[in-house]
Structure 1
Amino acid sequence: MENATLKRSLALWQIVLMGIGYMTPMVVFDTFGIASELTDGHVPLAYIIALVGMLLTAVSYKKMIQVFPTAGSAYTYTQKTMNAHLGFVVGWSALMDYLFLPMVNALIFQIYLHSLFPSLPEWIWVVGFVAITTTLNLRSVNFTANFNTFLVLFQIIILILFISVAIKGLLSGEGTGTIFSLQLFYEKGLDISSLVAGATLMCFSYLGFDAVAMLSEETPNPKKTIPRAIFLTALIGGIMFTITAYFIQSVFPSPSDFKNPEASSPEIVLYMGGVFFQMVFLAGGLAGVIASGISSHASVSRLLYVMGRDNILPKKVFGYVHSNLRTPVLNILIVGLVSLSAIFFDLGTATSFINFGALIAFTFVNLSVIAHFVFRKKKYKTTKEFFNYILMPLLGAAAIAILWLNLEKNSFIVGIGWAAIGFVYLLYITKFFKFNPGKIEFKEMDELEPSSQIDIDVKSI
């Protein structure tokens, strides 16, 4: 079949819900016990602090997408604003995060189903999960987005049901005994260092809000739609996390309320609604895992597509788009095959492979703003330009720096190893830097006047 291009058909809210599906709204239950211990019972505040840090990076994504409205995200921004070789290293590093998240989702799916059907071999659930996510992604991107929307809305219904049960319990005198309590956000003697540690943990719940940038070539107006989608994904996800955490904390105000903080989710659900609610919650958890699996599978296949289109990866394979489906079908199948390797991993090992790539991407998106607007376009002379192109991205980079300081040792070691493999491959394809790895050109947007740029940054979102 003749090669084609991706189909521009996604609307704003389809993209936002893809991003929210990627983050998984119900993840707040899984990490709550540990977060409550770290923050001494102030998880909602930690989520808010983490949200502020993520929104700073979201603003940097917004600026760069308006200049380079393509599916390459941090890979493209670094490649076009700094150095093509560095751009490859950033894209390669991000690729590890994107490739392993579908595997993590497959393993969580396996854990859920094996607990219900212990007599069946565990590998069946990995194969089943990969078959579902691969098949759905092979369809048109609109079909994939619409199915993801259904799964996300189902999770939201579960959260609303949980909050309703929590309110009923609070009115009956459980937990704090009140619906509104400022104590969960602030009280005398609050340990700031513990709060920052908790906020760092919460930041990892937001990983994936940037993945919607990979859909830039599948929406009619990417310069307008994708920046809004990234910001709204982080904002709405943060609001959902914070509200849910608030009501969990209201019912379980003390970290000592949990017998096993590392497995708080079953305790929360069983206490709140008994066995029936536990089954409903399990269904919501499965919906969340599948939604995240669909979104992450779609994102990594688009990153591979851009790297293939640039001829960094073999173009005939990775740069191919099906002429009827208008999806990168070969990449989708490749990601499915890689995801099957989850059969040979445990959840802890697979999880250690992610986060490094995401932090690399976040860091270089912030730095790309400075490289493009300050060093290339010389936009630093007015107060507005200084605020937009120096102060904001530096604050975003500083927020990510805190995450770097708290990154697990295994994640860092594995990430460096993966980057080293990519560097060796880069030496090979460039014949030891004799030429650049990517040559595709992107047409930049018309430069906005400084006075209107500040309106874009604040108001258009």
Structure 2
Amino acid sequence: MREICVEKGQSASLKRSLKLWQVIVLGLGYLTPLTVFDTYGIVTQETSGHVPSAYLLALAAMLFTASSYGKMVKVFPVAGSAYSYTRQTINPHLGFLVGWVSLLDYVFLPIVNVLLGKIYMSAAFPDVPDWMLGVVLAAVVTAVNLWKIDGTANFNTLLVAFQVFVVTFFTVLAISYITEGGGSGDVANIAPFYSANLTFPSLMAGAAILCFSFLGFDAVTTYTEETIDPMKNIPRGIFLVALIGGVIFIVASYFTQLAFPDITQFENPDSPSPEMSMALGGPLFHSLFVAGSITAAAASGIASHASVSRLLYAMGRENVLPKRLFGYLNPRSGIPVVNVVLVGILSLSALFLDLETALAFINFGALTAFTAVNVCVIFHYFIKEKMRAPKDVFRYLISPLVGAGFVAYLWWNLDSHSLTVGMIWSLLGIGYLLYTTKGFSKKPPEINFEDAI
């Protein structure tokens, strides 16, 4: 496949150097394996102690949408993800709006990671001003993203490996605790998956919360133009990121549920993971757990920073955003360095924003992208290409409808704060589109896909 140039006649291009395992690592870094402990307390209470079952349901839901991403990237192997798919499959104006709203997810996740990293580091270094810790984390993440993409992926591998080590160590300690008579006292117990007090509404409510733990599996599509053999490796990467993340979440939550079936014993039952780490491994493991949390924020920050930089590049290359600024690539490294620096500067808003507001933007943007991609599969394959053989009906109609159905349930459970900030942002995007297209009288600039493959 040929690399994509910023303009004809220029040599700067995104460099195809990522292997499948690097794509997976970037996706897992975005996903954050340690996030299993962030929502454990809340979902335990919501599901009456059936977190693993809720994760199974959430994983099933996400795999349908992951399958839709895989189908679309085979048709449009370019950076831009849901934005590119929608503008080419349905309508350029709608594509712009999907890209605009998706920016909420991509732009605010680096901000959230700086926020979380600042919180974790403040606990470890209480004497250092938290604003200084936030600046240091934002600077490190930005610097790593100025490397060539494979260097960024390799660095993130170390951070993800450390997270997996912490999750594994936590699980081993939990098993040891159970076999010694703690918790349920039995490591082979079906209770975390099913018991008499499990109800379907509570399970669905828990799964709705946990679906947001999977945010990031779709982000690997933004690395399409930097991946070797993207039409094979990106679909595989999307599916494997969601699957591997789901397996980690299910296994870790299962043994945690057996070790701590009753979380009311903790001072903070909504977020008991620090107390659980202390109970399992004492001060030493507690310190390791905190270090893992800091590492998770950094890994997710690096991966999300890389993703939004590529999305901005895709929009800049097409003059949807000013091309001279957002469509620039460094001739030597093939990195959208201006975008990387801009995202780094934006992430400093974590010094002023609160976590609730930032998460509200992310949830609205992610659900918009998920909805758009499922709809695009139906539009492209089933409607436009008329692929309607029996097996095609399942692949290109039923499967994306199931994915869209799960996403619709998430929309239904989205809090009013997320809906409010999302709608305000959407209205701003519509206003910008009206201005740039002179009241929809002309189309937004379109990408030449022949240069992408």
Fold match by TM threshold 0.5: yes
Give the alignment of 1:190-201 within 5 angstroms.
Answer: 190-201=198-209
Number of residue pairs aligned between Structure 1 and Structure 2: 445
Read off the aligned partner of 1:425 and give its amino acid letter: Y
- Structure 2 residue aligned with 1:434: 441
CA distance in 2, matches of 1:189, 1:139: 52
Q: Deviations over 1:2-25 (max 9, x none)?
A: 661100000001010101110110
Of 395, 398, 422 in structure 2, the residue corresponding to residue 391 of structure 1 is 398
- Structure 2 residue aligned with 1:85: 93
- Structure 1 residue aligned with 2:28: 20
- Structure 2 residue aligned with 1:51: 59
Q: Which moved more, 1:138-147 or 1:431-440?
A: 431-440
Determine whether 1:413 maps to 2:420. yes
CA-CA distance at 1:163 after TM superposition:
1.3
Determine whether 1:246 maps to 2:225. no
Read off the aligned partner of 1:103 and give its amino acid letter: I
CA distance in 1, matches of 2:271, 2:62: 26
Read off the aligned partner of 1:24 and give its amino acid letter: T
Determine whether 1:173 maps to 2:181. yes
Read off the aligned partner of 2:433 and give its amino acid letter: L
Q: Which moved more, 1:148-157 or 1:436-445?
A: 436-445
Read off the aligned partner of 2:215 and give its amino acid letter: L
Contact preservation (8 Å) 1:69, 1:222: yes
Of 413, 418, 432 in structure 2, the residue corresponding to residue 425 of structure 1 is 432
Determine whether 1:8 maps to 2:16. yes
Contact preservation (8 Å) 2:274, 2:289: no
Read off the aligned partner of 1:336 and give its amino acid letter: G
- After the TM superposition, list the runs of 4 or more consecutive aligned residues in structure 1 that deviate by more than 4 angstroms: 443-446
Contact preservation (8 Å) 1:3, 1:321: no
- Structure 2 residue aligned with 1:334: 342
CA distance in 1, matches of 2:217, 2:20: 14
CA distance in 2, matches of 1:445, 1:387: 29
CA distance in 2, matches of 1:258, 1:48: 26
CA-CA distance at 1:96 after TM superposition:
1.2
Contact preservation (8 Å) 1:41, 1:253: yes
Superposition RMSD in Å: 1.5
- Structure 2 residue aligned with 1:273: 281
Contact preservation (8 Å) 1:427, 1:433: yes
Report the secondary structure of 2:13's partner residue.
coil
Contact preservation (8 Å) 1:66, 1:445: no
Give the alignment of 1:32-47 within 5 angstroms.
Answer: 32-47=40-55
CA-CA distance at 1:342 after TM superposition:
1.3
CA distance in 1, matches of 2:193, 2:430: 45
Q: Structure 2 vs 1, CA of residues 186 and 444 (structure 1 numbering), >3 Å: closer, same or farther? A: farther
Determine whether 1:119 maps to 2:127. yes
Q: Which moved more, 1:248-257 or 1:228-237?
A: 248-257
Contact preservation (8 Å) 2:48, 2:197: no
Determine whether 1:211 maps to 2:219. yes
CA-CA distance at 1:178 after TM superposition:
1.1
Q: Structure 2 vs 1, CA of residues 445 and 99 (structure 1 numbering), >3 Å: closer, same or farther? A: closer
**Structure 2: any 5+ residue segments left out of the alignment?**
1-5
Give the alignment of 1:367-382 within 5 angstroms.
Answer: 367-380=375-388, 382=389
- Structure 1 residue aligned with 2:3: none
Contact preservation (8 Å) 1:321, 1:327: yes
Q: What TM-score do you get using the length of structure 2 for normalisation?
A: 0.96
CA-CA distance at 1:329 after TM superposition:
0.3
Q: Deviations over 1:65-92 (max 9, x none)?
A: 0000011110011100100000000000
CA-CA distance at 1:445 after TM superposition:
11
CA-CA distance at 1:352 after TM superposition:
2.1
Contact preservation (8 Å) 1:31, 1:264: no
Read off the aligned partner of 1:392 and give its amino acid letter: S
CA distance in 2, matches of 1:153, 1:86: 39
Contact preservation (8 Å) 1:71, 1:306: yes
CA distance in 2, matches of 1:69, 1:358: 20
- Structure 2 residue aligned with 1:184: 192
Read off the aligned partner of 1:330 and give its amino acid letter: V
Read off the aligned partner of 1:74 and give its amino acid letter: A
Identity %: 50
CA distance in 2, matches of 1:258, 1:251: 13
Contact preservation (8 Å) 1:58, 1:230: yes
Q: What TM-score do you get using the length of structure 1 for normalisation?
A: 0.94
CA-CA distance at 1:118 after TM superposition:
2.7
Determine whether 1:152 maps to 2:181. no
Give the alignment of 1:239-318 within 5 angstroms.
Answer: 239-318=247-326
CA distance in 2, matches of 1:349, 1:424: 22
- Structure 2 residue aligned with 1:102: 110
Contact preservation (8 Å) 1:3, 1:322: no
